[in-house]
Chains A and B, each alone.
Chain A
Amino acid sequence: MAKLILSMDGLVLKEINLSKERTTIGRKPHNDIQIDNLAVSGEHAVIVTILNDSFLEDLGSTNGTLVNGQPIKKHFLQPNDVIELGKYKLKYINEAPKVAAAADFEKTMVLRPGSMPKAAPAQAAAAPKADDDRTVKSAGGVAAPAPPPAPASPAIPARQGAIQLLSGANVGKELILSKALTTLGKPGVQVAVITRRPQGFFITHVEGASFPVVNGKTLDAQAHPLNDHDVIEIAGTKMEFFYK
């Protein structure tokens, strides 16, 4: 479950669990998080929590709300964000529930209408078994899904690849393989593609009756790994692959 750590001048005052769907912050006593300081408005801000995500909203406070030093009106809280209200600081901590094994995250679940309000209080549902890959969420109990890791950034081989034409009209021309896929050849005659993968570069036949030739050997339909200074022949044009 996500929580907030309230501090002032580096002194930790309190830890607050975000167990409610709406957690209000303000000077008046009816707030969930009361901060009795004149710099804080009566109803200063609210945090709306939906399952594992929390959203902070300033309720038109006099002195405003800062997140990581920036004034905000509405903000999607990220782990370790620091919320500032006057001299008070609230650090947002959202630890990944460790209940689920690695194989278990990102399982698709069904969210049924009406289950949301019940979902907000953290019902520490039993951890699914390791071999229980996915579950369908029922209306009542909600197993807190482990957060997915940050979206995958396409892995890029450490070295940059390039090809240089060895024959034809543009002899000597260099082409850097900056895209995930680079096609070579003449459409309708013969086309091959060089794919950039985490393991390196690969050449694959795409279309045409004849297949690409690498170092004098004709390829089959399979992807073929490229090594530094391999000589490729496609549609009658020779070129050299190399790492920059």
Chain B
Amino acid sequence: MSLVDAIEIVGHTDPGMVRSHNEDSIANDVRYGLAILADGMGGYNAGEVASGMATTVLMTELQQVLTHTPPFEPDEHGVEARTAAARLLRDQITKANTAIFSASQSQPQYAGMGTTLVMAVFYDNKMTAAHIGDSRLYRFRAGQFSQVTRDHSLLQEQIDSGMITEEEAKHSQNKNLVTRALGIDPTVEAELHDYDTQPGDIYLLCSDGLSDMVEDPEIGLTLETLGGNLTLAAQQLVQMANDNGGRDNVSVLLVKILKEYPAAKGLFGKFLGWFK
């Protein structure tokens, strides 16, 4: 089963109402089941450079790697398929981190640049998601809208330690402090998890420009009512963020699972795959 028939991916990014340029960057390739979103930071245009490098490096590298080694194939160590996908992403994220970090070290105008990252790869009725920082992944399934990732931010740490409640967090002045970012240090640890997907699921990858400006129930309502038209849903989400003030760049990637997409395993499966 080809991913192109089973998955629909739509992206939309907008500078918002206040910022002059867009430091968010998005990329997707339905053939490989890839969706990548980065929210850059750093002076002048360095934020754009960092997020652009993150999405470009990850997309081009993964397109190449996935052509040779599908993520559902156990790797040479015979490691379980799921960990193989996670390892694949971790390796490529390390590569992107090195690329951004060395650029920021060698070019003074890019010093200190970095970016958040949220990405997902879909394969064999599964999804492996990775994130760094406060860009988020949400899932809409059977009427339920829920946040899948947990931010790497000071605020999330304060919530976790019981210092403040989620309600208080909405009024916090420390909203903008992330505790992890891609490209600011020689090494980075991405958080990786595997999930099963179901037909009808809609996954939302977004920058904080959406999650800070639009309440979760409103986002859920949009996916519920406009899930039949992903392009319109993506536009609507960005529009709602802008209608509420659009204080930051807004980016969304929507992934809808149209039907099952089991991997063709083994020689016979691959052979059958020719006729599909």
Chain A contact residues, CB within 8 Å of chain B? 50-53, 55, 76, 78, 94, 102-103, 105-113, 128-129, 131-138, 145, 147-155, 179-183, 187, 191, 193, 195, 197-198, 204, 206-207
Contacts and interface: CB of A to CB of B under 8 A. Distances in A.
Interface in B139-178: 153-154, 158, 163-164, 168, 170-178
Nearest to B179: A111
A187 to B, nearest CB: 7
A206 B232 contact: yes
Contact of A134 (B41, B168, B173): B41
B79 interface: no
A107 B114 CA distance: 13
Contacts of A180: 218, 221-222, 240
Contacts, number: 154
B21 interface: yes
B245 A152 contact: yes
Interface residues of B, number: 59
Interface stretch (B42-50, B63-71, B261-269): B42-50
A103 to B, nearest CB: 6
Leading 3 A-B pairs by shortest Cβ distance: A152-B244, A147-B173, A52-B173
A154 B170 CA distance: 14
Interface string B208-248: 10001111001001100110110010001001100111011
Given A132-B43, A135-B112, A206 B23 contact: no
Pick from B18, B116, B176 the residue with the most CB of A within 10 Å.
Answer: B176
Contact of A108 (B134, B168, B173, B218): B134
Interface string B124-147: 000000000110000000000000
B184 A110 contact: yes
B18 A103 contact: yes
B31 interface: no
B228 A207 contact: yes
B7 interface: no
Contacts of A108: 39, 41, 116, 133-134, 176-178, 208
Q: Chain B: interface secondary structure?
A: loop
B243 A155 contact: yes
A182 B240 CA distance: 14
B113 A136 contact: yes
A103 B243 contact: no
20 contacts: A52-B174, A76-B164, A106-B176, A106-B212, A107-B41, A108-B178, A109-B176, A110-B179, A128-B43, A133-B19, A134-B41, A134-B43, A137-B177, A145-B174, A152-B213, A154-B243, A181-B226, A182-B225, A204-B232, A206-B228
Given A108-B178, A136-B42, A206-B228, 7 more contacts: A105-B247, A108-B177, A133-B44, A133-B47, A145-B176, A181-B236, A207-B228
Contacts of B229: 206-207
B85 interface: no
A191 B236 contact: no
B115 to A, nearest CB: 9
Given A53-B173, A197-B243, A181 B181 contact: no
A206 B215 CA distance: 22
B241 to A, nearest CB: 9
Pick from B23, B43, B180 the residue with the most CB of A within 10 Å.
Answer: B43
A153 B116 CA distance: 26
A108 B116 CA distance: 9
Given A106-B248, A197-B239, A150 B178 contact: no
B176 A107 contact: yes
